Amino acid sequence: MSGSTITPWVVGNWKMNPMQSNAKQLIEEFKQLLQQHPILEGACHIGVAPISVALQNVQQQFLDTNRVIYTVAQDLSRMAGTGAYTGEVSAELLKDSHIEHVLIGHSERREIFGDNVEIVRAKVENALNAGLTIIYCVGESLEQREAGQAEQVVLQQICDITSVVKPEQWHHIVIAYEPIWAIGTGKTASPEDAQAMHAKIREGLCQITAEGEHMAILYGGSVKPENAVELANCPDINGALVGGASLNAESFYKIAQAFANTK
């Protein structure tokens, strides 16, 4: 099974970065690169996930770009709708602010902020019911990989959400496989290992939904221009979730270009 006809996604996860002035410059530089050498929308979906208070500013700045750039929320509340939940932003409020995409289940949320299975599941359910598209992150730790449990852990993380996804909602889900040991470490999974895991994920998805064949499965973990082409060449790697390298306009552009040209 291969997902090579899927339009790739390249999404920059800015995490808790950068200062507003730097974000402005980063966006301007990225827009200029797109102006000089356009990347067609049909060749690659592109998104950036800034800090929550910058979502609308970033969205505004991308309005005059020569193509759509999605502004992606890094997280959302497990509470739905509106109400007395200090500090929270629900799926409905994101949607009301014209934010249509959200990351869910990033390992930093799971590990540092206690997003357990119940919380992740509630976030997925709320996001999908509000009509958002989600980028659902999965990935194993180094310990789990060394114990030979990588596949089982990742497939379980997919199974964790199946009970809250309605059949017609699967096409609003993008999967991001991010081995935890590769995030921010400079270590990337080899293209062979990444492809093997992506193929397993696709096999698992196809058992759950007919949509599985068409779903984008992104790789994340120290993706940079130097390894993007090799990763893009793998049949079941349909894009990248990029952390560190997305804070540099040229690096992020080159990664998007690698996927747009290879797929």
Residues belonging to the binding site are 13-15, 184, 222, 243-244
Per the annotation, the verdict on 106 as an active-site residue is yes
HSE toward the beta carbon, residue 145, CA cutoff 13 A: 13
Contact 217, 202 (CB under 8 A): yes
Per the annotation, the verdict on 178 as an active-site residue is yes
The binding site for ligand PGA (CB under 6 A) comprises 13, 178, 183-184, 220-223, 241-245
Query: Beta strand 9-13 with 217-220: parallel, antiparallel or unpaired?
Result: unpaired
Rg (C-alpha) for the chain, rounded Å, is 17
Strand positions, DSSP E, 30-89: 45-49, 70-73
Task: Indicate the residue among 169 and 251 with the shorter CB distance to ligand PGA.
Answer: 251
Residue 237's alpha-carbon distances to 147, 157, 220, in angstroms, are: 24, 18, 10
CA separation for the pair 124, 104 (Å, rounded): 7
Task: Indicate the residue among 80 and 232 with the shorter CB distance to ligand PGA.
Answer: 232
The minimum distance between CB 11 and ligand PGA, in angstroms, equals 8
Task: Indicate the residue among 13 and 262 with the shorter CB distance to ligand PGA.
Answer: 13
Find the catalytic residue in 45, 100, 101, 106.
106
The minimum distance between CB 258 and ligand PGA, in angstroms, equals 14
Residue set of the binding site for substrate:
13-15, 184, 222, 243-244
The minimum distance between CB 135 and ligand PGA, in angstroms, equals 9
Positions marked active-site: 106, 178
